Amino acid sequence: MRRVVITGMGMVSSLGVGFKHNWESILGSQSGIRKIKNFDVNDLPAKIGGQVPEGATGDNLFYADDWVSAKDRRRMDTFIVYGLSAAQQAINDSGWLVDSDEKAWRSGVLIGSGIGGLPSIADGAVTVNQGRARKLSPFFIPASLINLVSGHVSIRNGFKGPNHAVVTACSTGAHAIGDAARIIMWDDADVMVAGGTEAAICPVGVAGFCAARALSTGFNDTPEKASRPWDKRRDGFVMGDGAGVVVLEELEHAKARGAKIYAEVVGYGMSGDAHHITAPAENGDGAYRCMSAALKRAKMTPADINYVNAHGTSTPLGDEIELGAVKRLFGHYSKAIYMSSTKSAIGHLLGAAGAVEAIFSVCAINHGVVPPTLNLDDPSNDCDIDLVPNIPKETTVKAALSNSFGFGGTNASLVFKAFS
Amino acid sequence: MSDVADRVKKIVIEHLGVDEEKVVESANFIEDLGADSLDTVELVMAFEEEFGCEIPDDAAENISTIKNAIDFIETQQG
């Protein structure tokens, strides 16, 4: 099977723009969670979120004109704008340029989203319900469709290879990277731009997750304290907006053009819970089997993994179940690993989470530091695993495992390995 | 220049993000101003909104230049 490496990375989150800036902020134990101010939250039990900070170019803030013209933004909901930003960052970072038909045919895109254009859909529904169906924008459908992120990236960069999208709730980003890596392994492309994007913090989005009783509601006055995986006082996840995109490349292809290589994608595992539409299976079997499958594909054992970037959303049920599954898989090696949740800093980016966390996992490998789990002051579970409370730790990370679990009982794990 | 012409041109400049110099009466939305088929649908909707008129689909199909738009709207208002 052909080998696949990461040669470019891009990120947008509540901590700002750029994966390097995000990584430094994460290591500085900063939180991007704030009170929601751009719409009325009076009727909503959850009043906080990880929204992307807008501002001027050069301050690591998001300036939309840097990525998409005002004219083009009318054709797309915000999740597409964030996705295009992260994708362009990753492509620029990789230095990959399509300048021939052959290169175009061998370059593809696979970017997903969990929710897609919910703000556009909500606005469009109001227009139609007001009896103004003829006033619905001709861009309504293409602005909302999830695969249009991949579509726009391909159009802008002339990538004419496989053009695909994933929609698997909170596992989207991990599935996108895993599936894209396989497209390269199977020789259907040499370069794949892969990841996830989300911008679902809007009245309907927050109300919907509140109705499902999924969100934290007890920290509205101290937003940065709300996302606290494994802590006793955790009471639900915090929504986050943003995007993570990587450039995946066949190893020899990357070497031949002298590309810098961040890490190798060595493992990808999937499983289904077959249990409940929103709740994870209590025995953690889905998580266990998905991590096991990823290790098997990587030809690794638990002893080879140094760091686990957990799904760890800060929900009362999910955190403990994942912890149990990791303990079961790692056995006595549990003492030897670090496991943390970067959702403690930026919230849960839903369809973008797996991709953003893949990038943090790769950064941990590259920098020899594991990122912290913020607000883990009083662990609810006495365990052997070092959950990296509040401050990062320096350690050698030769290989990292990243978990993502989604509504519908869909699980994905990725394994990244240092490239030498 | 008529009031209608000014307002039509303003809408075209805003929606297509084109330079004012290019927005002459003979300019074709698609061929000269870089619009696509969805842009032209949106332009027609913007004209309807601005001038409080209804432009039926068969009439909209014949509005491909700035002049076409001005002429149609002036006929409606006349």
A170 catalytic residue (yes or no): yes
Binary contact (B49, A139; C-beta < 8 A): no
CA distance B17 to chain A (A): 6
Number of domains in chain B: 1
| Shortest CA gap A299–chain B (Å) | 50
Q: Do A137 and B49 touch (CB under 8 A)?
A: no
* Domain encompassing residue B63: 3-77
In this predicted model, what pLDDT tens digit does every residue of A27-50 receive, in sequence order? 999 999 999 999 999 999 999 999
B41 vs A contacts (CB less than 8 Å): 138
Say what the pLDDT of residue A212 is.
95
Tell me what the mean pLDDT of segment A209-234 comes to.
98
Tell me, what's the pLDDT at B1?
55
Q: What is the CATH number of the domain that holds B41?
A: 1.10.1200.10
pLDDT level of residue B77 (50, 70, 90 thresholds): confident
Sequence ranges of the domains in chain A? 4-263, 267-417
Does B38 contact A134 at a Cβ distance shorter than 8 Å?
Answer: no
For A267-417, which CATH superfamily applies?
Thiolase/Chalcone synthase (3.40.47.10)
Q: Count CB-CB contacts under 10 A for residue B30.
A: 13
| Tokens coding B67 | 């002049």
Q: Does A69 touch chain B (CB under 8 A)?
A: yes
**Is B49 an interface residue toward A (CB < 8 Å)?**
yes
pLDDT of A265 > 60? The answer is yes
Query: Which band of pLDDT confidence, cut at 50, 70 and 90, is reported for residue A214?
Result: very high
E strand spans, A134-200: 163-164, 191-198
Supply the DSSP string of A53-84, one letter for each residue: PB--TTTTSB-GGGTS-HHHHTTS-HHHHHHH
Can A4-263 and A267-417 be said to share one CATH topology? yes
Rounded CA separation A418/A400 (Å): 9
In the residue annotation, A383 being an active-site residue is answered as no
Percent of chain A scoring above 90 in pLDDT: 96
Query: Distance (Å, rounded) from C-alpha A45 to C-alpha A346?
Result: 20
Q: Does B56 touch chain A (CB under 8 A)?
A: no
The answer, for A127 touching chain B at a CB cutoff of 8 Å, is no
Q: What per-residue confidence (pLDDT) applies to A25?
A: 98
We find that the CATH architecture of domain A4-263 is: 3-Layer(aba) Sandwich (3.40)
Averaged pLDDT, A13-35: 98
Tokens 């009043």 — which residue? A47
Q: Which of B16, B17, B42 sits opposite A137 (nearest CB)?
A: B42
- Chain B residues whose CB is inside 8 A of the A143 CB are none
- Tens digits of per-residue pLDDT, A125-179? 999 999 999 999 999 999 999 999 999 999 999 999 999 999 999 999 999 999 9
> If you write DSSP's letter for every residue of B5-47 in order, what string do you get?
HHHHHHHHHHHHT--GGG--TT-BTTTTT---HHHHHHHHHHH
Chain B interface includes A70 (CB < 8 A) = yes
pLDDT in tens, A355-407: 999 999 999 999 999 999 999 999 998 888 999 999 999 999 999 999 999 99
* Residue B57 confidence (pLDDT) above 60: yes
Residue B68 has pLDDT above 60, yes or no: yes
- The predicted structure's pLDDT at residue A115: 97
Contacts of B49 in chain A (CB under 8 A): 135
DSSP designation for A365: H
Tokens encoding A44 = 């909503």
Whether B38 and A70 lie within 8 Å, measured CB to CB? no
Facing A138 at nearest CB: one of B17, B38, B49: B38
> DSSP string spanning A283-339?
T-HHHHHHHHHHHHHHT--GGG--EEE------HHHHHHHHHHHHHHHGGGGGG-EE
Q: Is A222 on the interface with B (CB under 8 A)?
A: no
Nearest alpha carbon to residue A326 among A250, A403, A249, A255:
A403
Distance in angstroms (rounded) separating the CA atoms of residues A245 and B28: 38
Mutation target among B12, B19, B38, B54 for the A interface, most CBs of A within 10 A: B38
DSSP assignment string, A198-216: E---SHHHHHHHHHTT-B-
Among B17, B38, B45, whose Cβ lies nearest the Cβ of A135? B45
- Give dist(CA A296, CA B33) in Å, integer: 56
